[in-house]
Amino acid sequence: MATATRLLAPLAELVLASGTIYLTRFAYQLVVDPLYGSAAGGNWLEPAIAAAAVPAVLISTQPRYTLTALACLLFFAPVSAYWSAVFTARTEREVAGPLICHALVVAPIVTLVLSSLQASKVRAILFL
């Protein structure tokens, strides 16, 4: 019983983190696609998420501030995604506009969510 609880708690945290990233990505694409089109907005989204995961390994966050910061980022994400997309679309750069928009909106959310996971919990699931 204790072993099952020890394994289910980190699994639940990983499911919650991946669900948060997935929902953020989905809602973000709904905002950005009308401005850039699905090809321009979607081409750089996956590399931006992967690049945001790299500093998450190096950063450790305090658990009591993580939820507050994540709530603020998720609350302002639709508005910041819209306005950053509007301002970068005016530059008429097909590559730089979506990339800057992804770096301003999605990258901080992904970095914060992934840095909040403790490495020991991830190891407990991966290596049982």
pLDDT digits (tens, 9 = 90+) for 43-81: 788 888 888 888 877 777 777 777 788 888 888 888 888
Angle subtended at Cα 27 by Cα 32 and Cα 11, rounded to the nearest 5 degrees: 135
Ramachandran angles phi, psi of 91, nearest 5°:
-75, -15
Give pLDDT, residue 40: 65
Tokens of 65: 């501030």
94, 40 Cβ separation under 8 angstroms: yes
Q: Do 24 and 77 touch, CB atoms closer than 8 A? A: yes
- Write out pLDDT tens, residues 7-38: 666 677 777 777 777 887 888 788 777 877 77
Helix axes 2-36, 96-116, angle to 10 degrees: 170
Contact 25, 45 (CB under 8 A): yes
**pLDDT tens-place string over residues 95-120:** 788 888 888 888 888 888 878 776 55
Handedness of CA 64, 68, 71, 74 (dihedral sign): negative
What pLDDT does 128 receive? 45
pTM over 0.85: no
Q: What angle do CA 41, 44, 47 make, to 5 degrees?
A: 150
Number of helical (H) and strand (E) elements in the chain, helices listed first: 6, 0
Helix/strand/coil percent split, the chain, to 5 = 90, 0, 10
